[in-house]
Structure 1
Amino acid sequence: MSEQNTNHESPEQNVAHDNIEHSDSILEETMKEFDPQHNSGEEMTIENEIDLDTFKARIAELEGEVKEAKEGTARANAEAYDAQKRMEQEADKSKKFALQKFARELLEIVDNLERAIENADANDPVAEGVQLTHKALLAVLHKNGIEVVDPQGEKFNADLHEAVDIDAEAEADTVGTVLQKGYSLNGRLLRPAMVRVGQ
């Protein structure tokens, strides 16, 4: 009785065994389908070449897009940097020359003080006060970037000087007489010096 049970499997065991064999058969056929040795070498080569070419083309396309994006970002950064620099320069320029109009009006006061000093009597006690006022005003102008242009005896420079007459005693192209001093604001000409020049 025991030998019959050993040599004969139950129907359920037979079904399970058949299912296992069937699964193994399907797996084996599937492996063969994707095994290059069981397929046409020419067909696999063509398919691989097509896939490889497509893959390479896609890579090249993506690389181009990345390069274009990087270049666009670089251009945007450069434009933003340039715009920021321009704004800083404009702000700095506005700051430097904000006093330009006011400074020109002050120069008229300086001119009047200098004329008063030239025409004052040496013994006049008021003259000393005028001189002190003139000196203090020039110090304030200097502190704010305003410098005197006094070209007496220098070579004539059309960028800084305005020739209004000829000085017969001066050397050629040399400033002989300064009729009115010039001034610059932070290195930029505020008013040219009015001069007589030798011929």
Structure 2
Amino acid sequence: MAPDTGSRKDKRKAKKDKHGSSADKTQENDAAECKDEPDLLARCQELEAKALRAHADYQNLRRRAQTDLEAGLKHQMQPLLEELLLVVDFLDMALSSPATNEETRNLATGVEMTRKKFIQALEAASVESIAETGVFDPALHDATEALEDPDQEPGTILETLRRGYTWHGSVLRPAKVKVVAADLKATGPEDEEEVPSEAEGTTEDVPEQEAE
């Protein structure tokens, strides 16, 4: 029996047509993707920009929340710290009293130890004392009195009446100090030399004509 060559040819042709149509579809898809590539790139750039904006907004929100938290903590803690500073002032006043006998000396020792513990607790909370010597700084000191002292520069701190403190770099309480007064002597204008005024006009003697 002769082989059916016609059917085989038809199958090969159908298979070839099938592969050809698949290749054509692949080429069409590639062409469509190439055509849509600019739109995809623009879309990716848009999504990337949105992601960056969202990240920036999150960072700003986080910073604002941290700032608000610190401000609220400072608002609540500052009155308490100011009251504790008053306790330190009272301890300083107690230590300024002379110890005349053994009992008062023992009492002064106990007060000194208590004050030391207070200062350590304040320093642990970032409370630091303001320098009591040097030059007057209006941001740190409150001048209650200005005295003349020719041996020192104007603005020099002479005495600290009440200690001042800072908290996290901000002034919690300014220091009350006495300072050297500035030289306020006004230099008067020098006396102007009197310049003699010139005569407005000169009169010349006209000789009289002799009568003939």
What TM-score do the two structures reach when normalised by structure 1?
A: 0.65
TM-superposed deviation, 1:85: 3.6
Q: For the residues of structure 2 that align with 1:97 and 1:145, how far apart are their CA atoms? A: 15
Q: Does 1:78 align with 2:60?
A: no
Of the candidates 143, 162, 165, which is equivalent to residue 180 of structure 1? 162
Whether 2:130 is the aligned partner of 1:149: answer yes
Structure 1 residues without counterparts, runs of 5 or longer: 1-5, 10-15, 35-50
Q: How far 1:98 moved relative to its partner?
A: 4.5
1:1-199 correspondence to structure 2 within 5 Å = 56-92=34-70, 94-95=72-73, 98-118=76-96, 120-124=97-101, 125=104, 126-152=107-133, 154-169=134-149, 170-198=152-180, 199=182
Equivalent AA in structure 2 for residue 62 of structure 1: L
Alpha-carbon distance between aligned partners in 2 of 1:142 and 1:66, rounded to the nearest angstrom:
54
Spell out structure 1 runs of 4+ moving beyond 6 A. Answer: none
Q: Which amino acid aligns with 1:148?
A: S
Give a deviation string over 1:36-92, Cα, whole Å, max 9, x none. xxxxxxxxxxxxxxx96x765522112101110111112112221332243345445
Aligned partner of 2:41: which letter?
Answer: E
Distance, in Å, in 2 between the alignment partners of 1:115 and 1:121 is 11
> Residue type of the partner of 2:112?
Q
Structure 1: how far apart are the matches of 2:113 and 2:74?
27
Q: Which has the higher helix share?
A: 1
Alpha-carbon separation, structure 2, partners of 1:68 and 1:132: 66
Partners of 2:86 and 2:33 in 1: CA distance: 80
Change (3 A) 1:56 1:189: same
Alpha carbons 1:150, 1:178 under 8 Å: kept: no
Q: Percent identity?
A: 25
CA offsets, 1:13-37, max 9 Å, x none? xxx999x6xx79x97xx89xx9xxx
SS at match of 2:137: coil
Report Cα offsets for 1:90-146 as digits up to 9, x if no partner.
44565567422101011112112212222x123151333333332232222222221
* RMSD, aligned CA: 3.6
User: How many Å separate the matches in 2 of 1:61 and 1:70?
Assistant: 14
SS in 2 for 1:99: helix
| TM-score computed with the length of structure 2 as normaliser | 0.61
